[in-house]
Amino acid sequence: MSETTANGSCSSFAPGRMDPKMRKELENKLRGALWGFFAGDALSSPTHWFYGGQRQIVSEYGHSISDYTKPNQHLAGSILNKSDPNGGGRMKSFSKNLDVSIIGDIINHGKLPYWAPNKSYHYHATLQKGESTLEVSIARVLMKSIVATGGNFDPDHFREAYVSFMQTPGSHNDTYASTCHRMFFANLIFRKKTPKECPDNDSHNVDTMDGLVLPTIVALAGLGSDSSMVSKSSGSCTAVTRKSKVLEDYAGRWSRVVLGAFGNEACFSDSLTDFAQQTIRRRPNPMVREASTMSACYLGQSLPGLIDMVAKHAPLSSSSTNGGEAAWDALLANANVGGENVHRGSILGAILGARAGYKTLPPKLVDGLYAKEQLEQEIEAFVGAVLPNVDENSNTSTS
């Protein structure tokens, strides 16, 4: 289902050259990638930024994570109470003393009390069981934008949709918003910048793992397109919400891993090894230990664990008989590691879901998601928009 060029690199799919049977298999893989993307995020939210391993998880929930779980409202050791509701990084002043608060009034409406410096709330205290975190909620906005623009990523269209979504009360239910979003809207509201001028960077909390979530969706929209163009679009996607040349570069490279997940085993392995060697200067280690994934969000700490988890679990999720169960088990393992597991979980889920295919996913992975019906509609619209129509009479396929 993928072809290899003369220099040994894997090209992306060309759906217009596929026969109907292979087109159906590509649809199956794309649906699997999207459901896995949502599942990896929602499974991990209860244990996001837990650095105490299994002991902390069991202490908080009484058991390991074995299914979608509602996050606890309170969390001992949470640093949400140290985060600045009006900008990046640590708190400079609590927003209740201001006429307008970014968190509470402009975005994450009504959530300011959870950021109070004398409280200790969970980062996702207000989410329901199986509900998406903010970054994945924004990914849903991106998916709708791509559908509206004919299956292509348009940064201007997405920027307008993002600004509207974030400022609409009730558009999502998450407690936490990362530094890049707080800085963006501080620039928009306090400094009166245009939306295109608002992406910013505090040189600490923006070049982070969550910056690969949206580019993963752009890469999925690029199936059948030239991989260099997909890399460029994936990189430019990061610039809509944050100012980070580092992430633009990494997102472009990561897109090749996403595309590679739809190819054969050799192509996928090559794409992952190339990404690892370009980013952490070593081959992925499929014998990953839990400690290597219990990392913070900063790219230098989080990428090795991501790469190793993909290397460890992707071959299992490629099984034709139980690939979906293996993907589910891997996402549970990611949830039970803690650390920066939420954003790692979504992009890991996209890879494992693509390798497994939707048809092998266990029903509990889909049925347990909070917005299952809406997600199903959005996934089907996305699949229909990004895959070109296939000539039903064509018998030509790639190998």
Report pLDDT for 23. 87
| Mean pLDDT (the chain, rounded) | 88
> Which segment of 77-91, 221-235, 265-279, 340-354 scores lowest on mean pLDDT?
77-91
pLDDT tens string 24-41: 999 999 999 999 999 999
Q: How far is CA 305 from CA 136, 250, 341, 356, 385, in A?
A: 20, 15, 10, 21, 33
In this model, does residue 391 exceed pLDDT 80? no
Provide the residue ranges of all domains of the chain, joining segments of one domain with +.
Answer: 16-386
Q: Across residues 198-213, what is the average pLDDT?
A: 92
Structure-block tokens of residue 149: 């623009």
In this model, does residue 221 exceed pLDDT 80? yes
Report pLDDT for 242. 97
> Which segment of 126-140, 145-159, 263-277, 362-376 scores lowest on mean pLDDT?
263-277
In this model, does residue 18 exceed pLDDT 70? no
Report pLDDT for 211. 95
Q: How far is CA 372 from CA 133, 327, 376, 384, in A?
A: 15, 19, 6, 18
Q: Across residues 354-363, what is the average pLDDT?
A: 97
pLDDT tens string 135-161: 999 999 999 999 999 999 999 999 999
DSSP per residue, 171-205 = S---S---HHHHHHHHHHHTS---GGG-----SSS
- The CATH classification number of 16-386 equals 1.10.4080.10
In this model, does residue 291 exceed pLDDT 50? no
Beta bridge partners, 208, equal 298
Structure-block tokens of residue 212: 């690969």
**CA separation for the pair 54, 47 (Å, rounded):** 10
Q: How many CB atoms lie within 10 A of CB 327?
A: 34
Q: In percent, how much of the chain has pLDDT > 90? A: 74
pLDDT band at 49 (very low <50, low <70, confident <90, very high): very high
pLDDT tens string 376-386: 999 999 999 99
In this model, does residue 194 exceed pLDDT 90? yes
Report pLDDT for 198. 98
Higher pLDDT, 242 or 303: 242
Report pLDDT for 334. 95
Report pLDDT for 163. 98
Report pLDDT for 5. 38
In this model, does residue 323 exceed pLDDT 70? yes
pLDDT tens string 89-133: 666 655 555 689 999 999 999 999 999 999 999 999 999 999 999
Structure-block tokens of residue 366: 């889909």
pLDDT band at 317 (very low <50, low <70, confident <90, very high): confident
pLDDT tens string 55-83: 999 999 999 999 999 999 999 999 999 99
